[in-house]
Amino acid sequence: MLSAIAKSDPQVYELIVAEKLRQENCIRLIPSENYVSQAVMDATGSCFTNKYAEGYPGKRYYEGQQFTDQAENLAIERAKKVFSADGANVQPHSGSFANMAAYCALAAPGDTIMGLALPHGGHLTHGWKVSYTGKFFKSVQYELDTATGRLDYNKIADLAKQHKPKILISGSSAYPRAIDFKAFEDIAKSVGAFHVSDMAHIAGLIAGGVHMSPIPYSDVVTTTTHKSLRGPRGGMILFKEQHAAAVNKAVFPGLQGGPHIHTISALAVCMGEALTPAFKTYAAQIVANAKRLAAKLMEYGFNLVSGGTDNHLMLIDLRNKNLSGKPFAKALDRAHLECNYNSVPGDTAGPFNPSGLRLGTPATTTRGMKEPQMELIAAWIKTVAENIDNEAAIDKVGKEVMALCKQFPIKESFV
């Protein structure tokens, strides 16, 4: 496929080749990122990109849907099976659109929604003020307990009683602990709210059976498909049968036009992979790797928010280290250790140079790295922290990282 780009547009071709090499030669620790299989990659680049398919299988507005209908139905049926859900909408172009569609399905503009605040690990689309979810709806935000770094279900319940939201949102982009979706459901029920769970980060762990599923405890579940789930970039909504019509109408014609059938067919491939025993092993190893990385970092004197991790990610609180997030993340990147700076609960440093660093294990685990490699990574992170102004030392770590990357090449297939 790339040979056509090489011939017709060498400029873009070179960028793709350079990015591929970059992804090969660094240890990617951003918890929302992964490497997809070649099968998923091939499907996203298929001729389905040429086809318009507004509507849903069996109810389209254009002819020529002999194969689009089958592709979308395959993705839906497999997604329902992976997550034991009543229904699925596989059309959202991203996690953000999936959330907007869920809110539009269950609430009207001006209604109150309640989600986790962005600086405490919530997503922009959980009602943060710069997001349209925070403009179209009246937004109330709950926060973590800054002493423990954990969700405080009693405080969330009190806030819900006070504000009576139409929708209570659970889920996070930076929470290192297990989420009790049943506790959220109980709170939502007690105030007559709908419960929307956003499992974007942990969908792969849920598919692999190593995190509580939100499906039995939620009206609607939203997710991205490209994070720990290891599929193409996109979004998906799972729902209880009684919400099927509202959710489907909210996605199309409510928010979107034509679905991206090339992405949807790649999602079908991803869901096929998620149904294999190998995916269960993968999900369990993600968590085992995160636990080992966290334990080693703590041994080296790094403070982790909440004192560890239950899932695929951890947040280092750098406030005891005389380091701040951005320069540290940049130094790590020079050493081929890719991660992102992040706010920590109670951070006063502001969003452009916050006091935390967010690390996760889905991508390294996809490459086949296990606990011994996590120990190497922790030691490298320590070395960079101690040599933040020493380019020779950072360079030396970078070479060691590249040598490890050579031992764990990007795989084409996981099944």
Ligand X SMILES: *Cc1c(COP(=O)(O)O)cnc(C)c1O
Residues acting as catalytic residues: 52, 54, 198, 224, 227, 233
By the rule CB under 6 A, 55 interacts with ligand X = no
Choosing from 28, 120, 123, 296, the residue that interacts with ligand X (CB under 6 A) is 123
Q: Which stretch binds ligand X (CB under 6 A): 37-45, 79-87, 94-102, 381-389?
A: 94-102
Q: Give yes or no for a contact between 141 and 114, defined as CB atoms under 8 angstroms apart.
A: yes
Q: Considering the complex, what minimum distance in angstroms separates the CB of residue 385 from ligand X?
A: 26
By the rule CB under 6 A, 201 interacts with ligand X = yes
Q: Which stretch binds ligand X (CB under 6 A): 19-27, 107-115, 170-178, 248-256?
A: 170-178
Choosing from 72, 143, 185, 198, the residue that interacts with ligand X (CB under 6 A) is 198
# binding residues, ligand X (CB under 6 A): 15
Which CB sits closer to ligand X, 223 or 373?
A: 223
Taking only Cα atoms into account, the Rg of the chain, rounded to an integer number of angstroms, comes to 21
By the rule CB under 6 A, 125 interacts with ligand X = yes
Other beta carbons within 10 angstroms of residue 400's beta carbon come to 16
For residue 86, give the nearest of 247, 271, 241 by alpha carbon.
241
Q: In the complex, which residue's CB is closest to ligand X?
A: 95
Which CB sits closer to ligand X, 99 or 311?
A: 99
Q: Which stretch binds ligand X (CB under 6 A): 37-45, 95-103, 250-258, 343-351?
A: 95-103
Scan residues 11-50 and list those touching ligand X (CB under 6 A).
32
By the rule CB under 6 A, 200 interacts with ligand X = yes
Q: Which stretch binds ligand X (CB under 6 A): 35-43, 82-90, 166-174, 346-354?
A: 166-174
Look up residue 289 and give its two tokens: 């790797």
Peptide bond into 176 cis (omega under 30): no
With a CB cutoff of 8 Å and minimum separation 6, the contacts of 107 are: 113, 137, 166, 167, 194
Q: Considering the complex, what minimum distance in angstroms separates the CB of residue 41 from ligand X?
A: 18
Which CB sits closer to ligand X, 172 or 306?
A: 172
Q: Which stretch binds ligand X (CB under 6 A): 9-17, 66-74, 196-204, 336-344?
A: 196-204
Choosing from 95, 165, 231, 345, the residue that interacts with ligand X (CB under 6 A) is 95
Phi, psi of 139 (to 5 degrees): -110, 130
* 229: amino acid identity, one letter: L
Q: Considering the complex, what minimum distance in angstroms separates the CB of residue 18 from ligand X?
A: 23
The DSSP line for 335-398 is TTEE-EEE--TT--S-TTS-SEEEEE-HHHHHTT--HHHHHHHHHHHHHHHHTTT-HHHHHHHH
With a CB cutoff of 8 Å and minimum separation 6, the contacts of 124 are: 96, 118, 130, 131, 133
Look up residue 387 and give its two tokens: 């040599």
Which CB sits closer to ligand X, 55 or 234?
A: 234
Q: What is the DSSP letter of 61?
A: S
* 111: amino acid identity, one letter: D
Q: Give yes or no for a contact between 378 and 296, defined as CB atoms under 8 angstroms apart.
A: yes
Q: What three-state secondary structure class fits 205?
A: helix
By the rule CB under 6 A, 218 interacts with ligand X = no
Choosing from 34, 96, 248, 364, the residue that interacts with ligand X (CB under 6 A) is 96
Scan residues 221-260 and list those touching ligand X (CB under 6 A).
224, 235
Q: How far is CA 248 from the centre of its chain?
A: 23
By the rule CB under 6 A, 343 interacts with ligand X = no
Contact residues: ligand X, CB under 6 A: 32, 94-96, 99, 123, 125, 171-173, 198, 200-201, 224, 235
